[in-house]
Homo-oligomer: A and B are copies of this chain.
Amino acid sequence: MEKENKRSKRSVGDVSPAVIKRLPRYFRYLRELIRNGRLRISSGELSELMNVTASQIRQDLNCFGGFGQQGYGYNVNYLYAKICEILGVGEGFNAVVIGAGNLGKALVRSPMFEKRGVNILGLFDVDPAVIGRTFGDAKVYDMSELETFCENHTVDVAVLTLPKSCVPEISERLVALNIPGIWNFTGSEIDASATGAVVENVHIGDSLMTLCYELRLKELSEEREGTDA
């Protein structure tokens, strides 16, 4: 029993980072399949749905144990459960959202956390107009209460949706509180090595720039076609 436990834990670190990066996408598609009552899917069908090659799918999914059975396809529920296990969904991580502005409110009201098994314990803000109010199921606390709150609750993740200018101060407080995970939307990159925490810096604007770049390429190629014609 002990041994088996250890093996399953070790396997978490054995999946390559490239595959790990692709797993959330599988998670989303499998979730949708479950919602639609699907029990099995072939790699060919999944390939068409997700717009990746069937061999890529087999390669991705076989590396953490062969779920697929020849001529039978993947068991959707089992695959979903396995991916959740590897990604840490349902580990019951607890999060606080620091900054109850539009983005903070949008995040706590979305089903995103619940779907991934992350509990929102509360929001924190300095604005008296929002302190004490409830958004989604989460209450807004005064920023000055953060330390006491963290003493009384296990906080795994701090979601930062406060202005860029507040990052130096909040980083220092988070380091002192020893919060192990930071999900950072401030636009100011936080260096994981400096905080000792796991940090995910989200830069939504980078995706807008990629879109603008692709748009410009498209325009140029259409212009060129126009000139050639």
Give chain A's interface residues, CB within 8 Å of chain B.
9, 12-13, 20-21, 23-25, 27-28, 51, 86-89, 91, 93, 101-103, 105-107, 109-110, 112-113, 115-118, 156-157, 180-181, 183, 187, 189, 191, 198, 200, 202-221, 223
Partner of A204, one of B91, B112, B181, B205: B112
How many angstroms from the CA of A113 to the CA of B21 in the assembled complex?
A: 27
Check A87–B213 contact: CB distance below 8 A: yes
Main secondary structure of the interface of A (DSSP, over half): helix
- Given A51-B191, A89-B212, A211-B157, check contact A205 B112 (CB 8 Å): yes
Q: Which residues of B contact A212 (CB under 8 A)?
A: 87-89, 91, 93, 116-118, 181
Pick from B28, B87, B208, B216: contact of A12, CB below 8 A. Answer: B216
- A198 closest partner in B (C-beta): B214
Oligomer: number of copies: 2
The answer to whether B101 and A206 have CB atoms under 8 Å apart is: no
A198 touches B215 (CB 8 A): yes
**Contact (Cβ within 8 A) A210 B21:** yes
A182: min CB distance to chain B, Å: 8
The answer to whether B91 and A217 touch across the interface, beta carbons within 8 angstroms, is no
- Known interface pairs A12-B216, A13-B217, A212-B91; A28-B116 also in contact (CB < 8 Å): no
How distant is the Cα of A167 from the Cα of B213 in the complex, in angstroms? 24
What are the residues of chain B within 8 A of A117 when measuring CB–CB? 212
* Interchain nearest-CB distance for A23 vs B (Å): 7
- Give complex CA distance A198, B113 in Å: 29
Q: Jot down 25 A-B pairs with beta carbons below 8 A, ordered by A.
A: A12-B217, A13-B217, A23-B209, A24-B203, A24-B205, A28-B203, A86-B213, A87-B216, A89-B212, A91-B216, A93-B212, A102-B102, A102-B103, A103-B103, A105-B106, A107-B204, A112-B204, A116-B205, A118-B212, A157-B211, A183-B207, A198-B214, A200-B207, A200-B208, A200-B214
